[in-house]
A and B are shown apart, each in its own frame.
Chain A
Amino acid sequence: MSNNGNSTEVEFTVIGGGVVGLSIAYGLLREGKTVRILDEGDLDFRASRGNFALVWLQSKGFGLSDYSVWTQRSISLWPTLSNALLQETGIDVGLSQKGGFLLYLDEDGLEQHVNRLTILNQDLANHRIPFTQMDNGELQKMLPGLGPDVVGGTYCPLDGHVNALRLFNALHKACVNRGVDYVPNASVTKLARANGEYVIETLKGTFGTPKVVLAAGLGNAKLAPMIGLKAPLSPQRGQIIVTEKLDKFLDYPIGTIRQTDEGSVLIGASKEDAGFDVSTSSNVMSDLAAEAVKMFPVLARARIVRAWGSLRVMCPDGFPLYDEDSSTHDAFLVTCHSGVTLSAAHALELTKEIAGGKLSDQSRKFGPQRFENV
């Protein structure tokens, strides 16, 4: 086996050190496996650094109801993950699952959202998404400070959010504590299977490993075909604005606005096809700002401390993508746009399947075969 010097031998190599990769690595370590993470550098497209940190259900699964079921599973596992991370690292990831809202400034948008939820719930039988539609007056009772332009919204008691930076830190620290071999600046240039193991060429040298998990976000599109897996992914830009720290005024996350436990307000959820351009644009930012100010007029005076563009990792249908080499049982691919929401399911369930060498029937529903007949 080719190796660069004194690197330790591990069973699993996870390619990607974002929230998805760290969750998988953490889960595998919990299963007693030895793990190496190959991560990139400081300037690479890091969806984990740009996320909105919702642990979110109510807008997901229209078109693939299994995604809603899987999301609900992760949401129910989140307290377990949060407690485990607190115990292992001392970091409180700030999980709050008191419910969340989607708010609408136009009747059409609200109607479409409610129709979709209703249709989705007909498919979901035992896993219906609990939600309440509210008008402005009803919303005011839970969201004081709501602006008069909000025509209505929906409340889902299963929705919530975390502190994304602390989650990232906690996962990283938990992996380090459990003995992960973390290798940064190791962009993968070549990946091949030879003599029953994987040879991974990186900017930090060559690594060999019996088993590999691709969790490299958009990077998976290039890596997957090298070992016969599929990842038809493309970037979707979202822009996020962050304000200075404000006194607590928002008790619940809104799909497009949330106040962190530290007081900053995040405003986001735009989507654009901008290729690999992560810059911000004043048109989109001013749209986001205008909507936020209409929803909560108090925000007009809040100063913006930063804004950024980040790339979501998107399949053609927007759902997660899991793949495996079903003959060798030693290569897997995990990618999705909701890496935070699915972090608990990835760490506590999907990794059991990966450790055992085989995805479950449930997980295979998120396989790439679903794109073949389209």
Chain B
Amino acid sequence: MSTVREKKRYDLIVVGAGPAGMAAAIACSKNGARVLVLDEGKSPGGQIYRSVSTSPFAGDRSLLGDDYFKGEKLVTEFSRSNLEYISTCSVWMVEREADGSCFGIGVQYSAHSSGETAKSEVFQAKSVLIATGALERPFPIAGWTLPGVITAGAAQTILKSAALVPDGKVVLAGTGPLLYLLAAQFARSGVKIEALLDTTSFNGMRTALPFAFEFMRSRYFFKGLTILKEVYSKTRVVRGVDTLEAIGPTKITGVTYRKGSKAHTIKADSLVLHQGVVPQVNLTMAAGCDHHWNQLRLAFEPQTGDFAESSIPGIFIAGDNTGIVGADAAEASGAIAAVGILTYLGLPSNGIAVESQRSIWSAAMLGRGFIDRFYKPAPQFRMPGDDVIACRCEGVTAGTIREIARNGAQGPNQAKTFCRSGMGPCQGRLCGLTVSELMANELNQPVADTGHYNIRNPVKPITLGSLAALQKIKPEEEVKAQRLF
């Protein structure tokens, strides 16, 4: 029997065309695997190398820096590989098919015009690599839902793909290397940065000290120093910021911060917030892979083996969504994952030097121990005051989350029942960590025991129409779902 779906069966489907996904796809296709890569971007590269092949800055490389254009080589090799690539699509499901033989991967293509409904499709694959990268840690402060408050990641996406920067007075606030990188890139593009409000806590700096020597030997040290020097020379940096608030009637007009006991207010038309990135785990969670809480990085991370195996045979996980590793380590982890995948498929894994990839990985990881501690976001920026909104979709405040925890809700899933937090269109992507930490703190128990929202397919807001249309590609003899009525 040959159905449409069976014709679309691949050896490997890779979700995400960042460094990890591309490296794995290249290596697997070289060894004879039939590979499909599904990507949300318009072109391969992921967030780090977004639009690198079509960059509006190709003429002037200094603005985005060498690390960005390093992606060109990988993207070129990827584009020349014998594999299929679909851009601008969302993967909303990874599930094991009922007969257990393979996985079903649900994809929705973006609607081309407002009048057209988006279309969905389910592909089948013997194995899946989930390389969905990172997303920004939520940064819940008073006023963060005001128009004009954006994340550094969003600002960088617009800069990389469309060469657009915020107008007017811009304030950057938060902590982490990306914030300083963006400050440097903004300054080079002529953005008027009123101030960079650095929230890095002295406590984090102290715990990072024992790792300083290792850090000084890493590639981050020199690079970081160069960027810091550049930012300090052009931008007003305020260190030791303890509180932050975006103010304004209907859109942001200013930022109030407190340093020590003194409060200051500065005018702003945009506030760009950032306090690090965390693994994007919705798809691996919905697929049923095991995850654990990483107390150092303050994030949930999937369990993986030596060759990127998840807890589910046939599902592999590589790159930043296994724990933040950075582009070089992600690329190496993709190549290592390819060995695991090819072995699982019963194919040879020629041309992948595992040991040298592992040393690239180790070299790239050198210094992370310092960075993870130094830039650990302070508690007041992760677990805000009672009046601050935690769940943006449903408008649930941190105070409400604390109250329901006191009244008996034991974790984020009961929080949904009690106050609708996490039940909006983002499916808890934006508030998951905040709610888990708030509840754990209120219940005085570890976050690991408090847990995370149950994430279920579909993990992206596909339309009912496109879900309904999947019917047509199913074999007719398949049994219809039984009904209660």
Contact = CB atoms under 8 A, between A and B. Distances in A.
A complexed with B: yes
Interface of A: 17, 39, 41-43, 46, 48-49, 59, 102, 113, 165, 168-169, 172-173, 176, 182, 184-185, 238-239, 241-244, 255-256, 267, 269-272, 279-290, 292-293, 299-309
18 contacts: A41-B410, A113-B485, A169-B417, A242-B423, A255-B484, A256-B484, A269-B483, A279-B95, A280-B95, A280-B456, A286-B470, A289-B464, A299-B465, A301-B117, A303-B462, A303-B463, A304-B467, A307-B458
Contacts of B470: 282, 286
B54 interface: no
Given A283-B474, A300-B468, A305 B425 contact: yes
A282 B104 contact: yes
A5 to B, nearest CB: 17
A304 B410 contact: no
Contacts of A270: 481-484
B451 to A, nearest CB: 6
Nearest to B484: A269
Contacts of B407: 172-173, 176
B106 interface: yes
B98 interface: yes
B57 interface: no
A300 B468 CA distance: 8
B425 A244 contact: yes
B122 interface: yes
**In this complex, which of A272, A285, A293, A309 has the most chain B Cβ atoms within 10 angstroms of its Cβ?**
A285
Contacts of A304: 458, 461-464, 467
Interface in B432-485: 450-451, 454, 456-458, 461-465, 467-471, 474, 478, 480-485
Contacts of B463: 300-304
A239 B408 CA distance: 27
B457 A280 contact: yes
A281 B484 CA distance: 17
B418 A169 contact: yes
Given A272-B481, A285-B467, A43 B413 contact: yes
Given A43-B411, A306-B456, A288 B481 contact: yes
A280 B286 CA distance: 9
B483 A292 contact: no
B259 interface: no
A271 B410 contact: no
B27 interface: no
B408 A102 contact: no
**In this complex, which of B420, B450, B478, B485 has the most chain A Cβ atoms within 10 angstroms of its Cβ?**
B485
A243 B464 CA distance: 8
Contact of B481 (A172, A284, A302): A284
A336 B400 CA distance: 32
A272 B409 CA distance: 29
B358 interface: no
B427 interface: yes
B240 to A, nearest CB: 37
Contacts of B482: 270-272
A282 B457 contact: yes
Contacts of A172: 407-408, 418
Contacts of B117: 300-301
Nearest to A165: B417
Contact of B412 (A17, A42, A255, A269): A42
A285 B407 CA distance: 34
A59 B484 CA distance: 9
B483 A286 contact: no
B399 interface: no
Given A270-B484, A303-B425, A49 B417 contact: yes
